[in-house]
Structures are given as C-alpha cells and as structure tokens.
Structure 1
Amino acid sequence: MSDQYISIKASTWHRESHGLYDYESSNISKRKLKITSESIIVQTSDKVLSLQKSAHYEQSSDTKFLLSLSKSDSSYTLEPNKSIFREKGVNYENPWLVLKNPKGTNGYILSEGDVIRLGKVELKIKEIKGPRKSKTQKNIIKSKDIFLGGIGGYTKLSNNNQSPLDIKVLHEDNDEAFQCRICLNDDNSLENPLIAPCKCAGSMGLIHLECLQRWLSSKVTSRETNNSLSYSWKSLECELCKFKYPDRIQIKGKIMDLLFIKKPENNFIVLESVGPAFSPGNMSKTVNVISFQDKNNIRLGRGHDSDIRLPDISVSRNHANIKLTSAGLFLDDISSKFGTLIKIKKPILLTSNSKFSVQSGRTLLEISVKKPFNFFACLGVCSKHRNSDELSRPIRDVTEESISPSLDHST
C-alpha cells in the first residue's frame, strides 16, 4: 500500500510587517509543495521551499524556518518549532492555527493556557469557569480534532502544578522585635502573617501579607463595562530591591493571589494581555474578566462598541467573537484583515480527511493529507458505480416510437 503524502499550499505576503499576513491582499506569491518524507519548510525572501531534514542546506540572513514535519511509518506529525530550531540557533517563526473561515466548525473551543493572537495583540487564557467541553488534554493532537481545543492549553490541574513562589514566614513564637515596613505594626498571625516576599533584608525585609496585597492593588487601574472588568498595571516590583512580584505566592502550602481581581461566580473567562506581540520588552499587563451572565456572545475588536476593546491598528474594528454554548467557549473570526490565530504548542498528528491552515510569520500554509492515485483502485470503484447504475436503470423496449426522428434516414 502506498504511503500518504502531505500537500501544502503556501501563500506569502510580500510586505514584512511584524509577522502579519494580510488576508485581504492580492500582493502575495503562491507555491504548492508535496511532502513525501521528513521535511522542514523554510522561507527565503518570498520563496517557500521544503527541505529534507537529512539534507545539508546553507542558511542565508533572510532564511526563516516555518514548519517541521516528522514521519513515522506512513503518518506525519507537525512539530512546534520552538524546541527544535532554538537549539540550532536558526531564525524561526512560531506556527499559529488559523481560525479564519474554518469550514464545518463553529470555531475553536478555548482551553486554559491557550494563547490567542488578533493582529499583533496576544491574549493568554488564564482561567475559564462555566460550561466547557470535558476533554483530556493529550500530549499530541489529531488534526481531525484540532478545533476541539487543546493545541496550546493545559488543564487547570497542570497549571496549579506550576508551583508559585514559596514565601518565608516569620515564626509566631519569635521573640525578636520585627515590624511591617508599611504599617509599622508587629502583629503576626496565621491570617495575616509577616512575610519576606523580596530580597530586602533587615528592618525593611518584612511586610504583612494584607499590606502587600493592598499596596500592589493601589498600582492597578480598573475599568468596568457591561460585560467585562479590565485591570491594567505595569511591572509590579519592590521599590527598593526591584524584585518583580509574581501574580501568586505560596505560604505554608497555600496558594494566594497578590492582586485582588473581582470575578463572577460562574460563566466567565480571564484573558491576560502582555503587550503587542512585536514588543516583548513591554512589561505592562492587562487582565480582562469577561462575564457571560447576561450575554452569550462577546465581541473583541478595535471599535468603541466592542465588548473587549483592543486599541491596536492591526486589530479590526470587529475582529473576533467568543460564544458561550453548552459544549464550551467557541472562538471564531469575523472576517478580520489579519486573522484570528491560536498558538500551536503541541505536536499535531496529521490524519486523513482533515484540512487546516497554519500561519508562520507572513506565510499562510494550507495543509491537507493526500493519498496517491491508485489506477486499479479507481477501476474497482468506477466499475462498482457503473454496475450499480446499470442495475438501477429502468429497462425499456426499443420500438419505432422510441427512435428519434432525426436518426430515421429511410425517407
């Protein structure tokens, strides 16, 4: 039996603009690739090529690695680039699943840990509470199930396994004179202990947990709309030692939030924005708590009438929707200019009868699994259909009345 192969239609936008791809532009170059072995997809200038992994190749300054495809038996797997190309010290683009007009789906089911990209803006899903599809997050995702979620997300359990910073606590029976550097009080209790959360030492090293929480919350600005509550702040750090405080800490095995963020009891999603995708040095954060209590459909975009407003020129006025259903939270695109994307963090096993698109930088890759043409199989199928047609065709007698006059040459 012949192996299946991978067909890739590559479209590259000629303009270099922070890794964006313009889905409305005609200024693109196209190329078709047929993958029959383990390959790496690369882009040099505006040309996309497939190279065998074992082949030797020269990397130029404008070469970027887009995708890596491994093969086991007759199956192919799309591998995220980050862990593969970083070791080689080469230029690479992160692969993103494209949600623009996915046929036969209602969108992508969101999971905690997913990273959404709208234009240049990236949003990470910190928490989901409410109806959602109960699905085990596997280490590898089948391409036929790609829109069921999990390509970048982690379960809530695994998120909690990422231990927050363990904070030292002053023992209650300590006889030495210590006091909080903010309230100057020496009270020390289980509910409000004196802790050492940063690198400061001596009389400035201790602070009450509640005093630290109130001080950090004073640096946060909030804005409330009908369906969302937004919190914004710059990097939270100690003014003395410049230690950057995490969002959560652990005290005697108990995990606590350092920031007071108001959340509904049910049916909500928490999105964290870490600046535009092209400026990783920007340490400002915005956390959006979106409620579905009064509305099942939330619109994201640049327009002033959007439920979640993202004031970036690369974001369309009406960019994407998040819809609450009994199966989960579905994200879909609203004909945006630069698309709605989900970051691919897990390997994707390419299965038959599946087709999806991946964006890597300014190149769009439409990926589908194909089977080689089999002449004898086609004969069998065609013969089967022909015999079936003949059996189902009604039998009629050939008479003089059934002969077309145009074919009667006796006169």
Structure 2
Amino acid sequence: KKLDAKVKLWHHNSQGLFDYSTKDFQEYTLKWRGDAFLTKSNNRIQNQPSLPKTPIAKLKANDLALYPGHLFASLCQDLWLVARSFTNGYRLAPGDIVRLGAQAFKVKQICTDKPTNKGFSLTDLLVFQEPSGETSQVHSLPCRVCLSESYSSQNPLISPCNCKGSMKYIHLKCLQQSIKSRVHSTDYSLAFMFKNLSCELCSKQYSSKFYLNGELKDLLEIKNLPQPYVVLESLSCKEQGLYIASFCTKSILSLGRSHQSEVLIKDPSVSRNHAKLVYKGQGIYLKDNKSKYGTTILVKRPISLKENPHLEFQSENSTIQFKASGLVNLLPSCLRQPVAKGPKSPSLPLFPVNKGICLSTDDLDFLVREAQGELLNTSLSFCQDSIQNFEA
C-alpha cells in the first residue's frame, strides 16, 4: 500500500501547542512504502524504519494501523487526536484525557441516565482520610480564622489537622466555609478547586466525614447537580480540581475563558469560547469551536487508519494527516524499503474510534469491558470482531 502523510509544522514551539488559526506554518509530505516509526528530529516529524530513542508512533502499512510510541519505548512523545477530525464532535468515555489548549483534563465520570433529581456525590470522587472518632472539642483557645473563642454544639472548635499552637483549632463552619470558597458554581456546572483537600498549612488531608454529637456527617455541603452529567478532573500542577457539568436543562454547554461560558476555565491558552459539550442520545460529545490552540485527545491504544482515514493527529507543534491508496508492489524484495526493525507491534485489537470506548488507555481488560458494554446498546460488528480476536 502507498501511504502519504501531510505534516504541518508551526515554528513557534510554545508549551507543545499548535496554532490552528495561523497560516504561518510549513507544510511537507512524508511517504511510506512499508512499516516505519514516526519520530521528531531537528524539530521536524520524520519517518524511519528502525526504532528511534523517542518514538511518536509506529505505522503498520499492511493493516494501516497506527500504534502509539509508548508501546515500544518507555521514553516517547505523546500523540494526540485532533477533535476537529469529527464533524459532530468526539464522544467522551471514562478515562479519556482531553486537552483544551495547554490544559489537560481526565474524564473521571460520565452519567447519561435519564434526568432525575439524584445527583453525584462529590465526596465519593475525592480521596480523604477516614474519620478516626468523635470530633475533638476545646473550650479556651480561639479559632484561627475568626479568632473567636465561642462555640456551640453545632459549631464546635475542632482540630482537624496537625497544626499546633494558636493555629491548631478552627470552627467547624469556618472550615466548611473555607472549603466552599474553592467552589465556583453556576446553574449548569461546578468547578471545585482543591489540593487533595488538605490543610493549607500542614498539608494533612481532611476526613470526608466527621462525627458530631454521635452522628456521622459530611464535611462538604455542596449542592448536587442532577443527571445527566460529566465530571472532568484537572491535571494541571498549578490548580487541581474537578469540573462537573450537568445537562439536565440544557443539552449544549460551552467551555472557555469567557465568564459567559457554562464551564469557566481560567487559562490564557484556552480561547474565550473554546469548545462545547453536547449531550446527544446516550453520549456526551466534545466539539471544538475553532479555537486557537485546538482540542485534542491523548492516544494510548492502536487506531485503524483504514476505518478512520480522515483523522488528524498532533505531536507538540506539528500536525499530521495520513492518506492511503492501494498499489501493487512490483519491485523485488531486495529493492524495497526495509521493514521497521525493533520490537514487534503488540497484538492489540483495533477497537473503533468515537464510539464511547476510551482512547487514552492501553488496558485491554478495561477496553474489552467497555466494548462489551457498548454492544448492549449498538450492533457494532467491528466491536464484536475486536473482542473475538482479543479472546482468541
């Protein structure tokens, strides 16, 4: 098979981003006549038959499959799928890692049941220490927030962390108010910023529940957003948190830097109206809105280019799009391009793309379970073939 790849190179390599709004890029073509690895050398994407030190991906020309570089080497460059490849958006799945500009998010939970008043439990999604016993109370030291020594049975002075001296005690309601200050709420979404929900002074994690007057209560008192909803976990080192978007009364929610966005993301690499979350049927789709730095999904499992010939990929400041056409190779084997050397491609099933099956994992058991669950709702023969091949 003849395989060509159109590469676009943006020379301003900033945070590994590509500017989709500019015309100031270099365009060139790569040609394949056999298996080869994608790598980056001198700031240019190139193909070579042997295994490089930091591969981006390996292309198998016979079955037109693209295998991410981490399957062959521990040190590799990430490969991202461009969301603009899909006219109606990319269907999110639990475990997917998506990137808006330079901000990466992990799809932590998706609930697409019929709208009900039952919402998510935020404490179930976070990691806390278990309550050790009855909440300790004191009678003479002041609260480190309001400096008051008064207390009541419903608002005791407690010591929830390892702080000592005058910083040891805090009113229960002062602590709850401090936690609530990390929550940005709208009619359609919650943005909960946290640093493992720990004390800002001694870094000890708080318990998700506590005992008060013999009763077990939740530390967080945050309103529930009704179903259906999606939970995105921020992977930023500077500002960790959860973004929860509800589609109970609205099927399209905007994501961006604008204060008019239903899901507000404060980052300069995110456009004002960057992308949209669309609830349609039994799925939630992520659709790019012609943003400057694009919307991408991390690729961790093989992708069939034969079934998805229109896909566009990004690696740092370059994008690549493949085009294949069948040819009969009349050259003798001694004159053909050598086959890629190095580790053999893992025998992983080629699950379909954009069908609600996670793209950002290579956990086969997890992928098979997702594919089997998808078969309950659709009659995807491609899914069934993938599962049978994997079991064989």
Q: What TM-score bracket applies, with the shorter chain setting the length?
A: 0.5 to 0.7
Mapped partners of 1:323, 1:77: distance in 2: 29
What is the one-letter code of the residue matched to 1:110?
Answer: L
Q: Give the 3 Å change call, closer, same or farther, for CA 168–290 of structure 1 in structure 2.
A: closer
Aligned to 1:100: 84
User: What is the CA deviation profile of residues 308-366 of structure 1, one whole-angstrom value per residue up to 9, with x for unaligned ones?
Assistant: 12222211121111111114111111111111111112222332562201111011011
Q: Give the 3 Å change call, closer, same or farther, for CA 263–34 of structure 1 in structure 2.
A: farther
User: What is the CA deviation profile of residues 260-280 of structure 1, one whole-angstrom value per residue up to 9, with x for unaligned ones?
Assistant: 5533331111222233xxxx4
**Of residues 68, 71, 74 in structure 1, which corresponds to 2:57?**
68
Mapped partners of 2:189, 2:180: distance in 1: 16
Mapped partners of 1:373, 1:131: distance in 2: 50
Mapped partners of 1:308, 1:240: distance in 2: 30
1:219 has 2:179 as partner: yes
**Of residues 189, 212, 223 in structure 2, which corresponds to 1:228?**
189
What stretches of structure 1 of length at least 5 have no aligned partner?
A: 60-64, 133-159, 171-177, 184-196, 201-210, 250-255, 376-411
User: What is the CA deviation profile of residues 191-224 of structure 1, one whole-angstrom value per residue up to 9, with x for unaligned ones?
Assistant: xxxxxx99x8xxxxxxxxxx8x995774342222
Q: Give the 3 Å change call, closer, same or farther, for CA 166–303 of structure 1 in structure 2.
A: closer
Mapped partners of 2:28, 2:199: distance in 1: 53
1:262 has 2:214 as partner: no
Q: Looking at CA atoms only, which structure, 1 or 2, has the larger radius of gyration?
A: 1
CA RMSD, aligned part only?
4.3
1:79 has 2:61 as partner: no
**Of residues 89, 101, 123 in structure 1, which corresponds to 2:105?**
123
Matches within 5 A, 1:264-283: 264-275=225-236, 280=237, 282=238
What stretches of structure 2 of length at least 5 have no aligned partner?
A: 115-123, 140-159, 163-171, 210-216, 331-392
Percent identity between matched residues is 29
User: What is the CA deviation profile of residues 166-204 of structure 1, one whole-angstrom value per residue up to 9, with x for unaligned ones?
Assistant: 95967xxxxxxx974889xxxxxxxxxxxxx99x8xxxx
Aligned to 1:12: 9
Q: Give the 3 Å change call, closer, same or farther, for CA 311–123 of structure 1 in structure 2.
A: same
- Report the 3-state secondary structure (helix = DSSP H, G, I; strand = E; otherwise coil) of the residue aligned with 1:318: coil
2:113–2:227: 8 Å Cα contact kept in structure 1? Answer: no
Mapped partners of 1:179, 1:131: distance in 2: 38
What is the one-letter code of the residue matched to 1:84?
Answer: F
- Report the 3-state secondary structure (helix = DSSP H, G, I; strand = E; otherwise coil) of the residue aligned with 1:19: coil
Please give the TM-score of this superposition, normalised by the length of structure 1. Answer: 0.59
Q: Give the 3 Å change call, closer, same or farther, for CA 179–341 of structure 1 in structure 2.
A: closer
Deviation at 1:44, TM superposition (A): 2.1
Deviation at 1:67, TM superposition (A): 2.2
Q: Give the 3 Å change call, closer, same or farther, for CA 167–53 of structure 1 in structure 2.
A: farther
Mapped partners of 2:137, 2:302: distance in 1: 49
- Report the 3-state secondary structure (helix = DSSP H, G, I; strand = E; otherwise coil) of the residue aligned with 1:266: coil
Aligned to 1:367: 322
Q: Give the 3 Å change call, closer, same or farther, for CA 74–258 of structure 1 in structure 2.
A: farther
Matches within 5 A, 1:385-400: none
Q: Give the 3 Å change call, closer, same or farther, for CA 163–339 of structure 1 in structure 2.
A: closer
Mapped partners of 1:6, 1:245: distance in 2: 56
Deviation at 1:231, TM superposition (A): 1.6
What is the one-letter code of the residue matched to 1:115?
Answer: I
User: What is the CA deviation profile of residues 6-57 of structure 1, one whole-angstrom value per residue up to 9, with x for unaligned ones?
Assistant: 4321111001100010112222122212233332212223422101135xx6
Mapped partners of 1:19, 1:167: distance in 2: 40
1:28 has 2:16 as partner: no
Mapped partners of 1:50, 1:32: distance in 2: 11
State how many pairs are aligned: 298
What is the one-letter code of the residue matched to 2:98?
Answer: I
Mapped partners of 1:167, 1:319: distance in 2: 39
Mapped partners of 1:42, 1:328: distance in 2: 35
Aligned to 1:345: 300
Mapped partners of 2:22, 2:251: distance in 1: 33
Q: Give the 3 Å change call, closer, same or farther, for CA 265–311 of structure 1 in structure 2.
A: closer
